Amino acid sequence: MKNEEADANDPTPVDWQNVKLPNSWVDELNFKHPYTWFLLLKATFSSKRNAIKIVDDLPGKSSIPKYVLQEFHNLPGGNYSNTLTKGYIKGFDIVMLNSMPQARQYIAEKLGCCWSVLDIGCAGAKTAAAIKAQGVTDVWAIDPSPYLLQCAAKTYKDIYFVQAIAEALPFCTRRFEGLSACYVLHEIPPKYIEKLLQEANRVLKKGGLFVIVEPSPVQYHQSYWSLFRTHGFKGMYFRLLSQKFNEPFVNAFHTMDLEKMFTKAGFKIIEDKKAVPHRFITTQKV
């Protein structure tokens, strides 16, 4: 459905909930057979990660960057499966000990003063939905995976979904008053983050907010004992999670000088709070 109040140059959102997406190799498995689950569990917990092969007739295949086609979070087939993608959306919150609603609410409250917001890397669109629930009228969301977009569109029918990447936003200049990104930047190679920030500056109005939540460097850099003393068993759990989940670019992200990068891109950092397990960042276009 096209937003009649939106900019005339907006891309037309696809009716993702009615798009028939091709099966991946994961979808072809016999899930009624116990051996299938054994193979999936083995693949999930293996230290070896495989590059994702997507079928030729996948919508938007040519625009999906190679760095996205990895088994992030140890998910066999990544976010390119009819079968596992929906489970991943639910399972991620469980694995994160249901701390994600707090993260999404942080973003939603910061952007509640905006009329138009774009959620970057929306996944299942829970962040976009939280922003919408805060009273934002015009909410858009992008993701490179059509499987994630389909799951999101089936759940949230009042949000406008577009298949796109953050480094090449298909929106006109100064289109939005706010941007959000929840657990996205650390999954992008550093050389593309600079382009992402340039695009964020382009599509934001002056004074617009870009609100971000990422994994905190605390659980990546502190010892188990130090985390136990300050955060109890929760700290130890997230330390273990940080070591076991496949996050190929997260260490590079934690070493980046974000203040320097945001300043160069035309933003000022209003808040940068490192907790466990989240890092909360609010920036503003100057």
How do residues 204-246 score in pLDDT, each as one tens digit?
999 999 999 999 999 999 999 999 999 999 999 999 999 988 8
Q: Which of 28, 61, 84, 51 is nearest to 145 (CA)?
A: 61
Nearest Cα to 77, choosing from 4, 138, 147, 179?
147
- Label residue 44 by pLDDT band (50, 70, 90): confident
On the question of pLDDT at 258 being above 50, the answer is yes
Q: Is the pLDDT of residue 3 over 80?
A: no
Return the bridge partners of 157, or none: none
Per-residue model confidence as pLDDT tens digits over 164-184: 999 999 999 999 999 999 999
Q: pLDDT: is 6 or 190 the higher one?
A: 190
pLDDT the model gives residue 4: 45
**pLDDT > 50? residue 51:** yes
Q: What separation, in Å, do the N-terminal and C-terminal C-alpha atoms of the chain show?
A: 33
Average pLDDT on 138-164 reads 97
Tell me: cis bond preceding 34? Omega within 30 of 0 counts.
no
Work out whether strand 138-143 and strand 204-215 pair parallel, antiparallel, or are unpaired.
unpaired
Write down the pLDDT at residue 58: 93
pLDDT at 92: 94
> Of 254, 255, 286, which is closest to residue 270 (Cα–Cα)?
286
Who wins on pLDDT, 266 or 43?
266
Backbone φ and ψ of 163, nearest 5°: -80, 115
Residue percentage of the chain with pLDDT more than 70: 98
Half-sphere exposure of 184 (CA within 13 A, CB side): 29
pLDDT at residue 6, as a whole number? 56
**C-alpha closest to that of 175 among 142, 200, 141, 149:** 200
Q: What local confidence, expressed as pLDDT, does residue 101 receive?
A: 97
Query: By CB neighbour count within 10 A (0-12 exposed, 13-18 middle, 19+ buried), where does 192 fall?
Result: middle
Share of the chain above pLDDT 90, in %: 78
Q: Does position 7 have pLDDT exceeding 90, yes or no?
A: no
Alpha carbons 198 and 128: distance in angstroms, whole number: 22
The backbone region for 260, taken as left when phi is positive above 0, alpha when psi lies in -120 to 50, beta otherwise, is alpha
Name the token pair of 275. 């907790």
Beta bridge partners of 176: 204
The encoded tokens of residue 243 equal 């070591």
d(CA 68, CA 189) in angstroms, rounded, equals 10
Say what the pLDDT of residue 213 is: 98
Helices then strands, counting H and E runs in the chain, come out as: 10, 7
Name the residue among 196, 189, 83, 183 with its Cα closest to residue 127: 183
Instruction: Look at residue 272 and give its three-state secondary structure.
Output: strand
Q: Residue 268 has which token pair?
A: 């000022």
Quote the CA–CA distance of 150 and 142 in Å, as a whole number: 11
C-alpha span between 163 and 153 (Å, rounded): 12
Task: Read off φ and ψ for residue 179, nearest 5 degrees.
Answer: -130, 150
